[in-house]
Amino acid sequence: MSRGGILEDGTRYFGNRATQVFSRPEFADYSAKNLVLLEVDFPQGKKQSAEQKAANEKLAQQFGIQGSPTIVVMNGTGKILGQLGYMPGGPKAFIAAIDRLRGPESARTSR
């Protein structure tokens, strides 16, 4: 099974996703079977070292991060399948959006 990944831009909106999606059992089960999760924090208004700021800028450029919140969905080889932002509807809506990006692969590995 090839698991995809999510690169998460951690922001003040992360709290909403953590409460409404990421901390819910149905998303935890889905992600354990299908995803590798990585949260990357791009703090605004928070002091960062020059090295951290440069690393964040490189990641933002590499993954096309334009704003916050941004969730980058990739396949098992690191190919970017698309981006998601905050959306209502809890885990079910979020998982459906990921599956749409993952395409036919999601039918073989989801749930």
Q: Which helix (H) or strand (E) holds 75?
A: none
pLDDT tens track for 66-93: 877 788 888 888 888 998 887 888 899 9
Task: Give the dihedral sign, CA 75/80/85/89.
Answer: negative
Whether the per-residue pLDDT at 63 is higher than 80: the answer is yes
C-alpha 3: how far from chain center: 13
Instruction: Report d(CA 40, CA 107) in Å as an integer.
Output: 28
Domain ranges in the chain?
4-63+74-109
pLDDT band at 11 (very low <50, low <70, confident <90, very high): very low
Q: What is the mean pLDDT of residues 41-49?
A: 79
Peptide bond preceding 25: is omega within 30 degrees of 0, i.e. cis?
A: no
CATH code: domain 4-63+74-109 is 3.40.30.10
The reported pTM is 0.71
Write out the H or E segment, with its range, that includes residue 60: helix 50-63
Tell me whether strands 4-10 and 71-74 are parallel, antiparallel or unpaired.
antiparallel
